[in-house]
Amino acid sequence: MKRVGFLVLVMAIFVSLFAPTAAAAFDDISDQATLTATTLLQNLGIVNGYGDGKFHPDDNLTRAQFCKMTVMLSGTQDIAIYEGFTIFPDVRADHWGRGYINAAVRALKIITGFPDGTFKPNANINFAQAVTTVMRLLGYTDSDVGLNWPRSYIDKANQIGLTKGLNLNANDVITRAQAAQIFYNAIFTRNIDGEKYCDELGFTEQKVIILQKNGPSPDNLLRGLVTIGGDGFYPYRSAPDVEEGSQGVLLVDGDGYVLSWAPDIQTKREITVRSTGPMSVIGADGSKINNIPSATLVYINGEMDTWEECWIDIPSGLALRFYYGASGAIDYIFLFRPTEEGVVKIIGVEPTAGRNPLPAFDIDANAQVIKNGVAASWTDLRLYDVMVYNDKTNIVNATDFRITGIYENALPSREAPDEVVTLGGKNFELLPSVRPKLAERKLGETLTFFFTQDGRVADIRTERLPSHQPGITTGDGGVVLYNGMTISGDNPSYGNYGEGMPVSACIYERDKLSLQSIPTKGSVDLDIINMKAGTADITPYAIFIDQSGTGGQAVYVDRTSLPDEIAAGSVISVSMDTAGRANLIVLRNVTGDAWVYGFTSIDRSWYDEDESSSSSSYYTVTVENQYGRRSFYDPRSLGRDGGNNIYGLAVATYGNVIANKACVRVNNVRRSDFSGNSSLVVSGIARPIPDDLMVYVQATKNTYQ
């Protein structure tokens, strides 16, 4: 039966014993377990401390004080009926605790006097007496625990968890902190009937993940814990010590208020994303987490997904927090997406070499800098970089992404725009400071748009020269920029640029792409370990593009996939930023990632319909892999010996094969040669395994990614 009167009565448990003060964390408690226990009792209204706002955890408790606390916890309501008689000669009518002592002895039978007939109400209570009193409140008797008092009671209390966190002998006098721990434990301990005492008190336990620790209720009338699981929102009377993203159990009273928080045993690891794969993530600092199960739960701003479904949509620069259970396995992943919180600044003057520019923007000089989604430092900040500073995390998210486009439209209206339409019909959110500036512009104007790292427009300007951004052309005439954005429109230069060509792109005439070739220049030796291009530094956020040979198609490659050293002969182009550091490097066939791999077959075709002997012929090479079938023109018959074998093909930007190479079969590969899903040891060398690796099952003749 639930103790309905508990909340009404419990207010007085500690009030008269501990002298009331305002509900606030006690600044004289350093032990976390004691702080947790007193926080629960505070939220119940039963711990208020002394007049000086302190708890005095090391002071002792008398038998009368502890007796009153236990009676009040029992839910006994009418104490007055126990004040009209005397049981013990040293507990007379004028003793403040007579009613509570009499109720404990006669009604609840949870405590007794001494053999000489006295109660000794002002004597300090010891550990054996305190444990026995609370055990009897939970329904345990001598017949349940044994007759060897106090050992049998203490042993049983240890067994059921009542004495968790305490290491005392039977005759040790208990302190106020230790009493708080006993009562805290009692609330979560099972009584003689196997029911948790908190259930008997009308409380509930809710297993949740903390999304926000000071968030709004659905009706915006209260502040409290916003959770994943449970009711989704719980107010509190005093704030529990919680961490956003952590999992645990809330104790909630009958009014829905949080009483306490018990976090699970977890470890966590936070990583700033450089790139993600089907089973892995690479951090901005080069660290890697492998073997992520596809069914791992991912919470993105409170919305639940699985790693399998969302990994491809997680952009660089975001913070992923991995939570691990006691077994060491991943429990779940918590994703912090950037929000509008933070101060936006644009660097208007080229920073002076060797001088930290952050303090000039009222930003902590020691703030962590992330630029273009990669861990960097203040030395990487340049003219026109857009910075978003969050003082709560002390992180600066910076980017140099700005591009020229046409002002095509605005939503919901041109007079009061929240979004701008540009770059071939794409919608971008405007920061509040930009909205009045756009409202003054005319449709069709050519503007340069300055973006934040998360894709919001931070500024618009009219510049004399258009701002281009590096990209790779697509088969339909569009361009995939280095940050994953695709821009499209009429391509007057399409005849000059085939599919997979490295270019610089923008739009400065309506619906028309402006493309420029990336010039062949600056071929120097590269030291990837020390991030050097010749004598120049390579920025940590440098863009690497690898082409499949001269004139071949190109792809973006990650720095971690590059060899430690690259000779100048394999470097097509090195572009520098305003500080003379390499920030765009085009390579010639260094990684092989730009090649097309799969099962090849060859068809010979003729130029005329009657296939006469005088007709000219050409070859078509068809490649089948996990992405399907693709055919390429082979003017040199390079694929002639490639029928029905696994080949790699280098394809030119106009679709013809310019080189091929048979893939080498490696036999006797053992399970121990694999390092998770990241690498495979071949001939003593660890070879990286790409995320889009083709897997061929010979028995079924099927290919998979």
Nearest Cα residue to 127 out of 101, 148, 102, 154? 154
d(CA 471, CA 118): 91
pLDDT tens string 362-413: 999 988 888 887 878 999 999 999 999 987 767 888 999 999 999 999 999 9
Name which residue leads in pLDDT, 90 or 619: 90
Tell me the backbone φ, ψ of residue 197, rounded to 5 degrees. -65, -30
pLDDT tens string 136-182: 999 999 999 998 999 999 999 999 999 999 999 999 999 989 999 99
Q: Which runs of consecutive H residues, i.e. helices, occur in 161-232?
A: 176-188, 197-200
* Whether the predicted pLDDT of 311 surpasses 50: yes
Residue 249's pLDDT band (cuts 50, 70, 90): very high
Weakest mean pLDDT among 191-200, 530-539, 654-663? 654-663
Q: Contact at 8 Å (CB) between 267 and 233?
A: no
* Whether the predicted pLDDT of 112 surpasses 90: yes
Q: Contact at 8 Å (CB) between 119 and 63?
A: yes
pLDDT tens string 237-246: 877 888 888 9
pLDDT tens string 67-106: 988 887 887 878 889 988 999 999 999 999 999 999 999 9
Instruction: Give Cα 519 to chain centroid, integer Å.
Output: 40
Amino acid letter, 676: G
Tokens of 239: 């704030």
Q: How would you classify the pairing of strands 267-277 and 280-283?
A: antiparallel
Q: Could you write out the DSSP letters of every residue in 396-429? A: EEEE--EEEEE--EEES-SSS-SEEEETTTEEEE
Position 303 scores a pLDDT of 81
Average confidence score pLDDT of the chain? 85
Question: Tokens 């060899």 sit at which residue?
Answer: 563
* Whether the predicted pLDDT of 586 surpasses 90: yes
Position 506 scores a pLDDT of 93
* Whether the predicted pLDDT of 333 surpasses 60: yes
